[in-house]
């Protein structure tokens, strides 16, 4: 692809001012921790709506460190609100859009919020970057801001054989994945039409501390710790490629600094496992057995397998570091050690969501045939 990056684009380095949307969530807060831990003068502003998935406590570590807190600003607001986004974009050297509605099951129950944040929100951010790019061209600011869109392997859809490469067609199959693919299409359209400096990352299934307990690993960990049933969808032979959150955030940071304008990069974990295998390892780490696991009616349109080829990013010099065999027990230990965090994440609409998503399923659930 032609390098559209404007001549005046900044190198993102020490002292940069970065706007991280969704920075109170799971991956965003890890990215903020890594950016500020550089202690190289990087300034970070987080814009986060604090939906049920956003948690200010995820940023407590940086806010408690005087050196980091001095270079950190938190703004509560919606990426779909131009009056909030505009002034923040005017001060940013780069915008990293981590904000999204992120849970496939909720996208099946209520898709609209996914479209509002994933399509309109991305459009509002891109309009702000477009305005700032034009301002830079007129000499009103030194550099146009770089825009990094955090996307997902789910935009490729189900992959029965081989591994997705960055030039594969996008074929999303859930409302969540369709919203993410739509956001990406807007990003590439704006890059081509308006000459914006954009890059995209597509990360694989991510796990680690601070992940909202609606997702497989934290849900099954917290349920197992509490002695509650584990609702395994269908036969449990769906395959995901697992990536530790510290690697996912490091991959985003690497692409921010080294990615070529207009390009997308797979951030692959390199650890493909069927859900049954992940569940078996979780049971071992929590000291429970298969009697807690129930096979329940499957998720509609459930993608059987995701798998990405990570060689494009590897060729630039980046690879994940955390082995799943180490990362999973460490993650279980974090949840065991943080009951207050779990209680706060399982507050608000949690009980209503859980009853809606799992009430009938668990009632229809069966013990798992381990020989199947």
Interface contacts to ligand NAD, rule CB under 6 A: 21-22, 24-28, 47-51, 53-54, 78-80, 98-102, 117, 121, 150, 152, 180, 203, 205-206, 212
CB of 220 to ligand TYD, least distance (A): 7
Measured CA distances, 123 to 99, 166, 176, 183 (Å): 13, 22, 17, 8
Which residue, 195 or 220, is less far from ligand NAD as judged by CB? 220
> Dihedral through CA 350, CA 354, CA 356, CA 358, nearest 10?
170
Which listed option, ligand TYD, ligand NAD, none, makes contact with residue 216 (CB within 5 to 8 Å by class)?
A: ligand TYD
CB of 6 to ligand NAD, least distance (A): 25
Find the helix packing angle between 175-194 and 122-137, rounded to 10°: 10
- For 104, list phi and psi in degrees, rounded to 5: -55, -45
Known catalytic membership, residue 81? no
Structure tokens at 183: 């956001």
Which residue, 219 or 285, is less far from ligand TYD as judged by CB? 219
CB of 101 to ligand TYD, least distance (A): 12
Which listed option, ligand TYD, ligand NAD, none, makes contact with residue 275 (CB within 5 to 8 Å by class)?
A: ligand TYD
CB of 351 to ligand TYD, least distance (A): 16
Which listed option, ligand TYD, ligand NAD, none, makes contact with residue 146 (CB within 5 to 8 Å by class)?
A: none
Q: Are 125 and 198 within 8 A, CB to CB?
A: no
User: 199 forms bridges with which residues in the sheet?
Assistant: 148
Nearest to 148 by CA among 16, 333, 340, 280: 16
Judged by DSSP in three states, 243 sits in strand
Structure tokens at 35: 């950016």
Which residue, 181 or 219, is less far from ligand TYD as judged by CB? 219
Q: Are 76 and 52 within 8 A, CB to CB?
A: no
Residue identified by tokens 């550089």 is 38
Residue identified by tokens 């349109």 is 301
**Is 2 exposed, middle or buried, given 0-12, 13-18 or 19+ CB atoms closer than 10 A?**
exposed
Known catalytic membership, residue 132? no
Known catalytic membership, residue 176? yes
Residue identified by tokens 């950190």 is 72
Which listed option, ligand TYD, ligand NAD, none, makes contact with residue 104 (CB within 5 to 8 Å by class)?
A: ligand TYD
Measured CA distances, 83 to 80, 129, 236 (Å): 9, 14, 45
Which residue, 63 or 110, is less far from ligand TYD as judged by CB? 110
> Residues 114, 19, 37, CA angle at the centre, nearest 5°?
115
Which listed option, ligand TYD, ligand NAD, none, makes contact with residue 117 (CB within 5 to 8 Å by class)?
A: ligand NAD
Residue 137: CA atoms inside 13 Å, Cβ hemisphere, count?
A: 12
Which residue, 44 or 273, is less far from ligand TYD as judged by CB? 273
Interacting residues toward ligand TYD by CB under 6 A = 104, 205, 215-216, 219, 231-233, 238, 240, 275
Catalytic site residue from 93, 132, 176, 197:
176
Which listed option, ligand TYD, ligand NAD, none, makes contact with residue 27 (CB within 5 to 8 Å by class)?
A: ligand NAD
Which residue, 71 or 180, is less far from ligand NAD as judged by CB? 180
CB of 150 to ligand NAD, least distance (A): 4
CB of 18 to ligand TYD, least distance (A): 26
**Distance from C-alpha of 109 to C-alpha of 35, rounded to nearest angstrom:** 35
Catalytic site residue from 30, 154, 158, 197:
154
Q: Which residues are catalytic?
A: 153-154, 176
């Amino acid at each position: 692809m032609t390098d559209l990056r404007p001549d005046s684009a900044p190198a993102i380095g020490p002292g940069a001012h970065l706007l991280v949307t969704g920075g109170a969530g799971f991956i965003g807060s890890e990215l903020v921790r890594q950016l500020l831990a550089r202690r190289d003068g990087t300034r970070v502003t987080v814009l986060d709506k604090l939906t049920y998935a956003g948690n200010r406590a995820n940023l407590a570590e940086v806010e408690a460190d005087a050196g980091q807190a001095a270079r950190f600003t938190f703004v509560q607001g919606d990426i779909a609100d131009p009056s909030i986004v505009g002034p923040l974009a005017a001060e940013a050297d780069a915008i990293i859009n981590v904000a999204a509605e992120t849970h496939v099951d909720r996208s099946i129950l209520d898709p609209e919020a996914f479209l509002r944040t994933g399509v309109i929100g991305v459009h509002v951010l891109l309009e702000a970057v477009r305005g700032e790019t034009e301002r830079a061209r007129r000499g009103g600011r030194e550099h146009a801001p770089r825009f990094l869109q955090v996307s997902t392997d789910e935009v490729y859809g189900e992959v029965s054989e081989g591994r997705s490469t960055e030039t594969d067609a996008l074929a999303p199959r859930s409302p969540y994945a369709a919203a993410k693919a739509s956001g990406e299409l807007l990003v590439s359209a704006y890059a081509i039409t308006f000459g914006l400096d954009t890059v995209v990352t597509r990360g694989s299934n991510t796990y680690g501390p601070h992940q909202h307990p609606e997702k497989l690993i934290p849900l099954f960990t917290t349920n197992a710790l509490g002695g509650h049933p584990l609702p395994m969808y269908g036969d449990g032979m769906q395959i995901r490629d697992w990536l530790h959150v510290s690697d996912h955030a490091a991959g985003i940071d690497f692409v921010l600094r080294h990615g070529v304008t207009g390009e997308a990069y797979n951030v692959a974990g390199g650890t493909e496992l069927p859900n049954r295998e992940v569940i078996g390892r979780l049971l071992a780490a929590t000291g429970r057995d298969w009697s807690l696991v129930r096979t329940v009616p499957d998720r509609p349109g459930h993608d059987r397998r995701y798998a990405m080829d990570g060689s494009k990013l590897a060729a630039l010099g980046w690879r994940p570091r955390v082995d799943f065999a180490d990362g999973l027990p460490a993650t279980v230990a974090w949840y065991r050690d943080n009951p207050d965090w779990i209680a706060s994440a399982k507050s608000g609409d949690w009980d209503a969501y859980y009853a809606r998503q799992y009430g009938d399923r668990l009632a229809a659930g069966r013990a798992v045939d381990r020989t199947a």
